[in-house]
């Protein structure tokens, strides 16, 4: 079976759909960071996106395409947090009933925000239960449309709009770094980069504790792992998807990893020097940029700060 992969035209269509609803987030720079790396860094601040992460882009793009019938019956989604909030907020904006399946250990702010957007939350144990199964069951029993967090053409196309905005604003890049969980953000970013800055090297970054995407691209097939234990809760995925894998293996140059300690250091830098609250997963790109050494020198590097949803108490604890 051949997969029908989203293209850059789908990213453009998504951009039109989310225009005026999603924020066009700022691109920030830091002389300190530029000097430290000998490069020009452009930070795309999706931590300042609606609901606090880029996932609003893919969520809203997917729900906006529902038929009137799908809109009436409702949507179901499973997520460790940000996709949940993205679907919940998009559903509220579009008048669609939403059911969200969340792990019992999801960050308190993410659960509270999802409920706050009016969604019904169903809890599960991420170490013993299969959320995809729960999602499928709910969609079959109640006729709800399942919107997965990354392996869906409309989700991927929506996520690609952040990189599209970044490159349109700052011009062509030599390197683009984006975090990888299931690969929706990275594959969407790669579609945009290949169209707007063809020579740009697109690099994905995942937590050291769960380098399944890196192993998948190296081995030529999707590698499944146990839920990795890392502070990067937005990238605790067990595997990438067949759509995201296909795009990544075609358009992504490399996957790097960052340790939790490197993420905390990056988080501290953003807070202290740039006055930005970035959640641990959102720090993956910059943490990897700092590892590049000579490969970064003189380069124009785009970095997607993917989200800012971290409990304040947790944030303080990590930085203490
Ligand atoms: C979901 C998420 C990611 C990973 O995105 P994928 O599309 O699953 O690869 C990265 N950062 C944040 C903040 C997220 O919420």
Site to substitute for ligand 1 among 25, 80, 82, 89, most atoms within 8 A of C-beta: 82
Measured from the CA of 179, which atom of ligand 1 is nearest? Answer: 10
Coil, helix or strand at residue 95: coil
Contacts of 67 (CB under 8 A, 6+ apart): none
- DSSP assigned state of 307: B
DSSP 242-275: HHHHHHHHHH--EEEEE-HHHHHHHHHHHHHHH-
Taking CA 78 as the corner, what is the angle to CA 71 and CA 98, rounded to the nearest 5 degrees?
30
How high is the pLDDT of residue 135? 87
Sheet holding 120-124, edge to edge: 120-124, 98-103, 75-78, 145-146
Q: How far apart are CA 205 and CA 218, in angstroms?
A: 14
* Dist CA 206 CA 239 (whole Å): 12
Q: 10: Cβ below 6 Å to ligand 1?
A: no
Ligand 1 close to Cβ of residue 179 (< 6 A): yes
Give me the pLDDT at residue 272, please: 97
d(CA 178, ligand 1 centre) in Å? 9
Whole-model pTM above 0.85? yes
Q: Is 183 in the pocket of ligand 1 (CB under 6 A)?
A: yes
Closest ligand 1 atom to residue 149 Cα is 8
Helix (H) or strand (E) holding 103: strand 98-103
CA distance 193 to 178: 11
Q: How far is the CA of 320 from the centre of ligand 1 (A)?
A: 25
CA of 185 relative to ligand 1 center, distance in Å: 6
CB 258 within 8 A of CB 20: no
User: What torsion, rounded to 10 degrees, do the Cα atoms 54, 55, 60, 62 define?
Assistant: 130
- pLDDT value for 80: 66
Mutate which of 50, 55, 286, 309 to test ligand 1's pocket (most atoms within 8 Å of Cβ)?
Answer: 55
SS3 11: helix
Tokens of 204: 């994905």
Token readout for 60 is 């809203």
Ligand 1 centre distance from Cα of residue 318 (Å): 20
182 pocket-lining for ligand 1 (C-beta < 6 Å): yes
* Per-residue pLDDT tens digits of the chain, which is 320 residues long: 578 999 999 999 999 999 999 999 999 999 999 999 999 999 999 999 999 999 999 999 999 999 999 999 999 998 867 999 999 999 999 999 999 998 888 878 778 888 999 999 999 987 888 888 888 888 899 999 999 999 999 999 999 999 999 999 999 999 999 999 999 999 999 999 999 999 999 999 999 999 999 999 999 999 999 989 999 999 999 999 999 999 999 999 999 999 999 999 999 999 999 999 999 999 999 999 999 999 999 999 999 999 999 989 999 999 99
CA distance 249 to 285: 19
Q: Is 241 in the pocket of ligand 1 (CB under 6 A)?
A: no
So which residues are the catalytic ones?
A: 55, 80
CA of 179 to the centre of ligand 1 (A): 6
**pLDDT computed for residue 208 by the predictor:** 97
The answer to whether the CB of 282 is under 6 A from ligand 1 is yes
Please tell me the residue having the least CA distance from ligand 1 atom 1. 234
What is the model's pLDDT at position 1?
Answer: 56
Residue 40, number of CB atoms within 10 A of its CB: 17
Asked if residue 48 lies in contact with residue 165, where contact means CB atoms within 8 angstroms, the answer is: no
* pLDDT at residue number 115: 92
- The closest alpha carbon to 264, from 188, 205, 218, 320, belongs to 320
Q: Please tell me if the CB atom of residue 279 comes closer than 6 angstroms to any atom of ligand 1.
A: yes
pLDDT in the model for residue 253: 98
């Amino acid at each position: 079976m051949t997969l029908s992969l989203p293209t850059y035209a789908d990213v453009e269509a998504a951009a039109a759909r989310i225009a005026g609803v999603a924020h066009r987030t700022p691109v920030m720079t830091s002389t300190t960071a530029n000097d430290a790396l000998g490069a020009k860094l452009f930070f795309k601040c999706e931590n300042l996106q609606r609901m606090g992460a880029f996932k609003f882009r893919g969520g809203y793009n997917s729900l906006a395409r529902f038929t009137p019938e799908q809109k009436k019956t409702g949507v179901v989604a499973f997520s460790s947090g940000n996709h949940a909030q993205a679907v919940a907020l998009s559903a509220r904006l579009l008048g669609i009933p939403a059911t969200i399946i969340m792990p019992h250990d999801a960050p308190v702010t993410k659960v509270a925000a999802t409920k706050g957007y009016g969604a019904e939350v169903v809890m599960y144990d991420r170490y013993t239960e299969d959320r995809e199964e729960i999602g499928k069951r709910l969609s079959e029993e109640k006729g709800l449309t399942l919107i997965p967090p990354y392996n869906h053409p409309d989700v991927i196309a929506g996520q690609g709009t952040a990189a599209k905005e970044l490159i349109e604003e700052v011009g062509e890049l030599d390197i683009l770094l984006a975090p990888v969980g299931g690969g929706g953000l990275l594959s969407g970013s790669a579609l945009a980069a290949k169209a707007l800055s063809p020579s740009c090297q697109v690099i994905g970054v995942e937590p050291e504790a769960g380098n399944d995407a890196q192993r998948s691209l190296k081995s030529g097939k999707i590698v499944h792992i146990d839920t990795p234990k890392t502070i990067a809760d937005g990238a605790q995925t067990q595997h990438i998807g067949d759509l995201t894998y296909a795009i990544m293996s075609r358009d992504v140059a490399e996957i790097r990893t960052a340790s939790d300690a490197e993420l905390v250091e990056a988080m501290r830098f953003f807070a202290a020097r740039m006055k930005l609250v970035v959640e641990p997963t959102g720090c993956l790109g910059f943490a990897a940029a700092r590892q590049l050494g000579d490969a970064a020198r003189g380069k124009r590097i785009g970095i997607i700060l993917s989200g800012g949803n971290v409990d304040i108490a947790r944030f303080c604890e990590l930085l203490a």
